[in-house]
Amino acid sequence: MKGDYYKTKASVEEYIQLAKDVNGKKLIEKLRKVLPARSGLLELGSGPGTDWRLLNEIYQVTGSDNSSEFLKHLRANNPHGEFFELDAITLETDHTFEGIFSNKVMIHLRDEELQASIKRQSQILGPDGIICHSFWKGEGTEIFKGLFVNYQNEKRLKKLFDNNFEILSIESYAEFEADDSLLLIGKKK
Ligand SMILES: C[S@@+](CC[C@H](N)C(=O)[O-])C[C@H]1O[C@@H](n2cnc3c(N)ncnc32)[C@H](O)[C@@H]1O
């Protein structure tokens, strides 16, 4: 079923092991160029918390996830951290932020869910709010370990974000192999 892989204790433990050497350091360095240190930042889908810990060294970061297993792990390992239970699609929060970051999280949203998320992100950002999101680069969709994965290219991302965000950059980068990923940085219109 959609999303189950991130929801059970066993699979969350497996994912944490598998992803232990992966982090978004290079992406966060790009974000740092457009979003000043100490800004209020929301991370979507913090998962194991690897990127949250890097972001926490620079920003007033709030982590979030829609998986209670990941939230348990995040809270247990970062007792001073702030973590919200949030679905990246609906983003039901009264808080506002200066930036929103995610690393390979919006890949799990279908196009109509992405559209809803993007609109909601613009609502919970202050003026000139910054977004920084990574995607798998490619065509079409697939189910991987029971998880829905939506591949993106530059043209599709421009179309999806254009109503709400000025796109500052869309760059290819290598997660596991050359040009397998895209990083989008945008500013609220
Ligand atoms: C690839 S992991 C992110 C890893 C994270 N960037 C890190 O530093 O390790 C994807 C995360 O997105 C979360 N996720 C997937 N769909 C979501 C949704 N609709 N709303 C919120 N979180 C979601 C999963 O529970 C998982 O924790």
Hey, whose CA ends up nearest to atom 27 of ligand 1? 47
pLDDT tens, residue by residue, 64-88: 999 999 999 999 999 999 999 999 9
pLDDT at 5: 84
pTM, rounded to two decimals: 0.97
Q: pLDDT tier at 1 (50, 70, 90 boundaries)?
A: very low
Probe target for ligand 1 pocket from 66, 89, 109, 143, with the most ligand atoms within 8 Å of CB: 66
Burial class (CB in 10 A: 0-12, 13-18, 19+), 112: exposed
Question: Is there a contact between 64 and 44 (Cβ–Cβ < 8 Å)?
Answer: yes
For residue 70, give both structure tokens. Answer: 């990941």
Domain span at 168: 4-188
Mean residue pLDDT across the chain: 96
pLDDT tens, residue by residue, 128-168: 999 999 999 999 999 988 899 999 999 999 999 999 999 99
Probe target for ligand 1 pocket from 13, 31, 67, with the most ligand atoms within 8 Å of CB: 67
Number of domains in the chain: 1
Please report, for the domain that includes residue 128, its CATH number: 3.40.50.150
Q: What is the C-alpha to C-alpha distance for residues 56 and 49, in angstroms, rounded to an integer? A: 10
